[in-house]
Amino acid sequence: MTSPVVPPSSSGDGPTHALPDDVSRLVREAAARLGRAGIDTPRVDAELLLAHAAGVPRERVVSAAVMGRPVSSLLPARTVRAVLDELARLLDARAERVPLQHLVGTAPFRHLDLVVGPGVFVPRPETEQVAQVAIDEALGVARGSEGPVVVDLCTGSGAIALAVATEVPGARVHAVELDRDAHAWAERNVTRTREASGAVVHLVRGDARTALAELDGSCDVVVSNPPYVPPDAVPRDPEVALHDPQVALYGLGEDGLEVPRGVTRAAARLLAPGGLYVMEHAEVQARSARDMVAAVGGFEDIRTADDLTGRPRMVVARRARPTSEPDPAPGDPSDMED
Ligand SMILES: C[S@@+](CC[C@H](N)C(=O)[O-])C[C@H]1O[C@@H](n2cnc3c(N)ncnc32)[C@H](O)[C@@H]1O
């Protein structure tokens, strides 16, 4: 039995695809189209775009496909035509490699759904592990009645800062973002999260290398996913190359580590002795990131940590404690006055 096909809207300027009304066939055909456009996860993207067009959770699309139901089973209140027109528009844009997260308007990060769009870096799954290291450290900081002080430098959408603020009870979280558009997205996420959960992030717009001087020497954790792409490494995926802001990607300098170097200096300034620094980098930068942290100075226990797929993706270091002269042992001749 063939499924009915809903003809394109006759408005003249609407989408031009005739899409089937059967959810299973619709998702299959949409996924085939996205696969031909070079998208790595065509089935997931097709399901998410249909869910977005219909205004329902993805699970309902998946179950309607399994049950062989028509699109009208998803949301009777909206016409099938309107949903399919919207889906056709979304598929056109996705096949042009507009990021899925820009089309649906949100990106998942740990347990959060962050609003994103043009002008802000889309948070990545590998950064969730960077946030995990910061969260684990903050949870372990004993501060008496006061919570740990955590700073997220280069916060973008606010992803890491908001994860810490919602997962570490009592944490006092600060976030810094330079770019005006990215800062505006972060502000939206900070407000939405505060309204939803009560978690507070103190967000400032400024240069991570000089911001928050009032916190110098008092922070327990400084975490950052700064721009670190070297000038000669142009990202391959159009979603990244064309839609992530340049200021979010390129770290400047020959090695892409000029901004990270400034961020590392800021971390040395902000951290209290014994505080933890965590910074994301590219897989090929593990050694140069460790060398960079050592060259900045003021850190010890400098090591590389992996992301969840086992790739070396972050440098972790502890702010050195000042070395004090050891007390002379009793009876030590140097203890005696002349
Ligand atoms: C790779 S993105 C990461 C965003 C976010 N931390 C995340 O993980 O999703 C880097 C961010 O750093 C910001 N940025 C670049 N240079 C900066 C600077 N000097 N000070 C503060 N933010 C900066 C960019 O605008 C961008 O939002």
Query: Ligand 1 centre and the CA of 160: distance in Å?
Result: 11
Domains of the chain: 5-96 (1.10.8), 107-319 (3.40.50.150)
Whether 162 shows a pLDDT value over 90: the answer reads yes
For the Cβ of 227 lying below 6 angstroms from any atom of ligand 1, the answer is: yes
Nearest by Cα to 303 from 337, 334, 279, 324: 279
- Is the predicted pLDDT of residue 87 greater than 80, yes or no? yes
9 alpha carbon – ligand 1 mean position (Å): 42
Mean pLDDT throughout 4-22? 51
Mean pLDDT across the chain, nearest whole number? 89
pLDDT tens across 200-232, in order? Answer: 999 999 999 999 999 999 999 999 999 999 988
Task: Say yes or no to pLDDT of 329 above 80.
Answer: no
Contact 105, 115 (CB under 8 A): yes
* Res 11 pLDDT > 50: no
Task: Report the atom number in ligand 1 closest to the C-alpha of 156.
Answer: 27
Residue 336 has pLDDT above 50, yes or no: no
Helix (H) or strand (E) holding 278: strand 271-280
8 — pLDDT class (breaks 50, 70, 90)? very low
The answer to whether 121 touches 154, Cβ cutoff 8 Å, is: no
* Ligand 1 pocket, residue 256 CB under 6 Å: no
Instruction: pLDDT band for 74, please (50, 70, 90 cuts).
Output: confident
Q: Is the CB of 101 under 6 A from ligand 1?
A: no
DSSP reduced 3-state for 96: coil
Distances in Å between the Cα of 194 and the Cα atoms of 62, 80, 84, 174, 191 are: 32, 36, 35, 14, 5
Ligand 1 atom with the shortest distance to the CA of 179: 25
Quote the CA–CA distance of 298 and 64 in Å, as a whole number: 58
Can you give the pLDDT at residue 19?
77
Quote the percentage of the chain above a pLDDT of 70: 88
Mean pLDDT computed over 140-169? 92
For the chain, the first-to-last Cα distance in angstroms comes to 106
Structure-model confidence comparison of residues 254 and 157, the more confident one: 157
In sequence order, the β-bridge partners of residue 221 are: 150, 276
Q: Determine how many CB atoms are found less than 10 A away from the CB of residue 249.
A: 17
In this model, does residue 17 exceed pLDDT 70? no
Query: Which residue, 61, 43, 41, 42, is CA-closest to 51?
Result: 61
Q: What is the pTM of this model?
A: 0.87
Q: What is the CA(303)–ligand 1 centre distance, in A? A: 23
Atom index in ligand 1 nearest the CA of residue 249 equals: 1
- Distance CA(15)–CA(145), nearest Å, equals 59
Nearest protein Cα to ligand 1, atom 2? 248
- Residue 40 to residue 240: CA distance in whole angstroms: 14
How many DSSP H helices and E strands does the chain contain?
Answer: 12, 11
Instruction: State the pLDDT at residue 21.
Output: 79
For the stretch 239-293, pLDDT in tens is 999 999 999 999 999 899 999 999 999 999 999 999 999 999 999 999 999 999 9
**Could you tell me which of 211, 214, 166, 215 has the C-alpha nearest to residue 190?**
166
Better-scored residue on pLDDT, 316 or 331:
316
pLDDT at 168 over 70: yes
pLDDT at residue 331, as a whole number = 44
Residue 18 in this model has a pLDDT that exceeds 90 = no
Query: What pLDDT does 76 receive?
Result: 62
State the distance from the centre of ligand 1 to the C-alpha of 154, rounded, in angstroms: 3
28-34 average pLDDT score: 96
